Amino acid sequence: MKKTKISSRLLEVPASPIRKLVPFATEAKKKGVKVYHLNIGDPDIKTPGVMVNVLKNWSTNPIAYGQSQGQPKFLESLAWYYNKIGYSFVKTNNIQVTTGGSEAISMALFSVCAPGEEVIAFEPYYANYNSYAAINGVKVVPVLTKGETGFHLPERSKIEKKIGKKTKAILICNPSNPTGTVYTKEEMEMLVLICVKNNLFLISDEVYREFVYDGKKYFSILNYMKKYPDKMVLLDSLSKRYSLCGARLGMIVSLNRDLMDGVLRIAQGRLSSGFVDQAMAEKLTEVKDSYFSAVHKEYQARRDVLYNGLKSIPGVFLEKPEGAFYTIVKLPVKNSEDFCQWLLEKYNYKNETVMVAPAAGFYGTRGMGKNEVRIAYVLNIHDLEKAIEILRHALVEYNRK
Amino acid sequence: MKKTKISSRLLEVPASPIRKLVPFATEAKKKGVKVYHLNIGDPDIKTPGVMVNVLKNWSTNPIAYGQSQGQPKFLESLAWYYNKIGYSFVKTNNIQVTTGGSEAISMALFSVCAPGEEVIAFEPYYANYNSYAAINGVKVVPVLTKGETGFHLPERSKIEKKIGKKTKAILICNPSNPTGTVYTKEEMEMLVLICVKNNLFLISDEVYREFVYDGKKYFSILNYMKKYPDKMVLLDSLSKRYSLCGARLGMIVSLNRDLMDGVLRIAQGRLSSGFVDQAMAEKLTEVKDSYFSAVHKEYQARRDVLYNGLKSIPGVFLEKPEGAFYTIVKLPVKNSEDFCQWLLEKYNYKNETVMVAPAAGFYGTRGMGKNEVRIAYVLNIHDLEKAIEILRHALVEYNRK
């Protein structure tokens, strides 16, 4: 009997560089080795108590479907948030609640591109853009940015050179996962001008909006939304802002009515996002400013520990990350994927090891990022210092092989 | 300045027939009219206390990402469940947890079809198959089933006539949403034979497995999975079984390793399903059998009330539904969408009205189902009786216009 075959497009969906080594981490743990997880942006910061208390005081039963656009109270909380950060023009009907920022990425790519059409992104970029491009039949056209210039944008002509008939959008992550780059006002205005001139969407993933260090200024796409209502698409998420990764809540914000109507039809197909999660998240209006200032201070301190620690390891190169809680680091290795797997499979230092993400999966160009890893500084300073020491020792041992 | 345009494929995603009239229901409620919701399968049955208690006793913080395949304990609970219902060959590595049965449908269609390829489904079928077909660039090829034969399958040749070079799968829902049909053993074996002969996947959505009435027998695709491991794909969900619609948890079960590996890669792109939801759901092992017997008894009683009530309305036609909690009903109207909207927008009986779903969206063939609606019997008997009386009076008034 002939074997029934899966579609070839399923084979094209890449494994996540952040998660594909998880089985090796699981094996290490089974052997009693402690693994410091710097591979994934899953913060150890507490979810605000006012949100977790929603669970403790739960009385609603049954746990029923919600509205496809998002629960009305949660939508109001989100509009309140955008108003608070200075964008009072954002109303509930400009917001679509998504099941994680992930769904927002997928819906946006589907909405702006026909199959085979293109989106420009600055590599290294968030690895899952590749997953969603594959799922939606979209081609990501990479424009290279470099560690030496802090992964800031290249000159305008280098970007415009990549724009062709099939280009429909520029996709950015600002502050950037995986580079930690925060785009300047000039960079943002350049991108807006390019999009206006070439009739493109500008899709901005601003999940790390609150994570900008050293008093740097951050420029949201929201500043341009009223002027270019058809072109600007904001992707957002509560995962990092409120340490709520497991709640799977994100949003698309846009004034483009055709896009929002279409996105709602997609949302109707999947019925609704989590009922309990939204009930928790609607309490964001009650999270005190002191929560964010403490979190911000903690991450800036972690960033400093990580940057200084890694800089002191021979052969390691990185620029100081400006925002988010990631950095792309050059290591003195030829094949970082092999090194990352070796860390989990073969190495331990005093019965401990580190998991980091090989950077190749964050590039669109094959062969790039082979000597780089992405590090998420989502552990407390004590653990972070230990993880850096393990990396220091591991690199010596690995290169002695 | 030129307006930047959304993709044409976004325009092709249909609005949900179950949800698109929601704004009219909202307006009716604002005017103080009570709306009985028979449009959506969102049961009023309580979620098992053992699950809701997980919320009340919550102590984990932060609410972090889970595993992409599903949380290990939840996967074990699911394997326990399949073992309990007689399929001990289902192990955790044959299960992918999905964010609702919806995601399971989407992943399955993506996985078996290249863009433009085809899946055969028996119309009327679950409306969101059309949504996910549009999203995944898959064509649903409908094979008509009729109310007069309880929506049971036509003869084999009528099905095989629709199989062409592009056909990759047959997709069924058993027990069926929206028809309430439970396929016989003979029907299931015919489908399996067709799939084997034509090298197709058989994708079976068995979300309503526990909802089969009058002592009828139900034949799961799981009975054929060991014999045809590459061809059988089960779609499942906890939403209806545990009245947990808002928890957004479903699964794909298959022994096709290529398919499961690919589906896991898709899952990695969206990181994980809800952490809190899975913590609740893993308690399914502690739900007593008495919960299901009470629920089953309640639904069978509702089915009887609905069937007898609707049968007694002049001009209304339906066969007795055998399972699930839906039925497709012929009404003495020309345009059921107009009637459904009129019920919400213009009609009330003693300040109450009914929301039902126009059936056209459950068909793949344009023009079909225009005088039909889908009714979900998810309200208690008292409310159901009231809703039927409202329909009876409404039909008289509507046809007098």
- Work out the pLDDT band at B133, boundaries 50, 70, 90: very high
Cα→Cα distances A2→A5, A187, B231, Å: 9, 55, 10
Q: Is A401 on the interface with B (CB under 8 A)?
A: no
| Residue B322, pLDDT score | 97
| Residue B207, pLDDT score | 97
Q: Is A330 on the interface with B (CB under 8 A)?
A: no
The contacts of residue A321 (CB under 8 Å, 6+ apart) are A179, A180, A181, A213, A303, A307, A327
Q: Which of A40, A259, A280 sits opposite B65 (nearest CB)?
A: A40
Span A300-355, pLDDT tens digits = 999 999 999 999 999 999 999 999 999 999 999 999 999 999 999 999 999 999 99
Portion 274-303 of A in contact with B at CB < 8 A: 274-277, 280
| Residue A54, pLDDT score | 98
Element (H, E) at A381: helix A381-400
Q: Which of B2, B6, B237 to mutate to test the interface with A (most CBs of A within 10 A)?
A: B6
Question: Which tokens belong to B170?
Answer: 């047959």
Span B165-189, pLDDT tens digits = 999 999 999 999 999 999 999 999 9
Instruction: Report whether pLDDT(B43) > 90.
Output: no
DSSP state, residue A153: -
Instruction: Report whether pLDDT(A1) > 80.
Output: no
Q: Which of B1, B19, B62 sits opposite A43 (nearest CB)?
A: B62
Please state, for a pLDDT cut of 70, what percent of chain A lies above it: 100
Distance to chain B for A137, nearest Cα, Å? 9
Instruction: Report whether pLDDT(B263) > 90.
Output: yes
| Residue A18, pLDDT score | 84
Q: Judge: B256–A4 Cβ closer than 8 Å, yes or no.
A: yes
Q: Which of B199, B247, B248 sits opposite A2 (nearest CB)?
A: B199
Mean pLDDT of chain A: 96
Contacts of A247 in chain B (CB under 8 A): 63, 274-276
Q: Judge: A256–B6 Cβ closer than 8 Å, yes or no.
A: yes
Residue A303 to residue A391: CA distance in whole angstroms: 16
| Residue A20, pLDDT score | 83
Contacts of B241 in chain A (CB under 8 A): none
Q: Is B19 on the interface with A (CB under 8 A)?
A: yes
Span B62-118, pLDDT tens digits = 999 999 999 999 999 999 999 999 999 999 999 999 999 999 999 999 999 999 999
Q: Which of A4, A16, A42 sits opposite B200 (nearest CB)?
A: A4
Distance to chain B for A315, nearest Cα, Å? 32
Distance linking the first and last C-alpha atoms of chain B: 48
Q: Judge: B7–A114 Cβ closer than 8 Å, yes or no.
A: yes
Q: Judge: B243–A62 Cβ closer than 8 Å, yes or no.
A: yes
Span B28-41, pLDDT tens digits = 999 999 999 999 88
Q: Is B196 on the interface with A (CB under 8 A)?
A: yes
- Kindly identify which residue of chain A lies nearest to residue B199, measuring between CA atoms: A4
| Residue A396, pLDDT score | 96
Residue A173 to residue A145: CA distance in whole angstroms: 13
Contacts of B135 in chain A (CB under 8 A): 110, 266, 269
Span B211-244, pLDDT tens digits = 999 999 999 999 999 999 999 999 999 999 999 9
Cα→Cα distances B300→A245, A314, B18, B320, B325, Å: 41, 72, 23, 11, 9
Q: Judge: A62–B68 Cβ closer than 8 Å, yes or no.
A: no
Q: Which of B45, B230, B248 sits opposite A99 (nearest CB)?
A: B248
DSSP string, A230-276: TTEEEEEESTTTTT-GGG--EEEEES-HHHHHHHHHHHHHT--S-HH
Residue B273 to residue B99: CA distance in whole angstroms: 5
Q: Which of A10, A55, A66 sits opposite B276 (nearest CB)?
A: A55
Instruction: Report whether pLDDT(B2) > 90.
Output: no
Element (H, E) at B93: none
CATH numbers and ranges of domains, chain A = 8-46+289-400 (3.90.1150.10), 59-286 (3.40.640.10)
| Residue A248, pLDDT score | 97
| Residue B331, pLDDT score | 97
Cis peptide before A142 (omega within 30 of 0): no
Distance to chain A for B96, nearest Cα, Å? 15
- Give the number of A-B residue pairs with CB atoms closer than 8 Å: 270
Residue A344 to residue A346: CA distance in whole angstroms: 6
Report the pLDDT averaged over residues B291-296: 94
Residue B127 to residue B112: CA distance in whole angstroms: 19
Mean pLDDT of chain B: 96
Residue A33 to residue A31: CA distance in whole angstroms: 6
Residue A340 to residue A355: CA distance in whole angstroms: 7
Cis peptide before A321 (omega within 30 of 0): no
Residue A279 to residue A64: CA distance in whole angstroms: 12
Q: Tell me the angle at which helices A289-311 and A381-400 cross, rounded to the nearest 10 degrees.
A: 20
Please state, for a pLDDT cut of 90, what percent of chain B lies above it: 95
- Least Cα distance to A269 among B6, B20, B240, B110 occurs for B20
Q: Judge: A6–B245 Cβ closer than 8 Å, yes or no.
A: no
Span A85-114, pLDDT tens digits = 999 999 999 999 999 999 999 999 999 999
Report the pLDDT averaged over residues B119-135: 96
| Residue A136, pLDDT score | 97
Report the pLDDT averaged over residues B247-272: 97
- Work out the pLDDT band at A240, boundaries 50, 70, 90: very high
Portion 25-84 of B in contact with A at CB < 8 A: 40, 42-47, 51-52, 55-58, 61-68
- Least Cα distance to B242 among B110, B94, B75, B78 occurs for B78
- Kindly identify which residue of chain A lies nearest to residue B272, measuring between CA atoms: A246
Give the count of beta carbons closer than 10 Å to the beta carbon of residue A334: 10
Instruction: Report whether pLDDT(B192) > 90.
Output: yes
| Residue A40, pLDDT score | 87
SS3 at position B226: coil
Residue A344 to residue A22: CA distance in whole angstroms: 9
- Work out the pLDDT band at B19, boundaries 50, 70, 90: confident
Specify the pTM. Answer: 0.95
| Residue A42, pLDDT score | 82
Instruction: Report whether pLDDT(A211) > 80.
Output: yes
- Work out the pLDDT band at A287, boundaries 50, 70, 90: very high
Q: Is B137 on the interface with A (CB under 8 A)?
A: yes
- Least Cα distance to B326 among B205, B217, B221 occurs for B205
| Residue A151, pLDDT score | 97
Distance to chain A for B225, nearest Cα, Å? 13
Q: Judge: B99–A99 Cβ closer than 8 Å, yes or no.
A: yes
Report the pLDDT averaged over residues A184-197: 98
Residue B169 to residue B228: CA distance in whole angstroms: 14
Q: Judge: B10–A111 Cβ closer than 8 Å, yes or no.
A: yes
Q: Which of A61, A67, A270 sits opposite B100 (nearest CB)?
A: A270
Q: Which of B6, B55, B61 sits opposite A112 (nearest CB)?
A: B6
Distance to chain B for A246, nearest Cα, Å? 4
Span A379-392, pLDDT tens digits = 999 999 999 999 99
The contacts of residue B52 (CB under 8 Å, 6+ apart) are A58, A61, A63, B280
Span B269-290, pLDDT tens digits = 999 999 999 999 999 999 999 9
Q: Judge: B55–A52 Cβ closer than 8 Å, yes or no.
A: no
* Residue B245 contacts residue B42 (beta carbons within 8 Å): yes
Cα B250–chain centre separation: 11
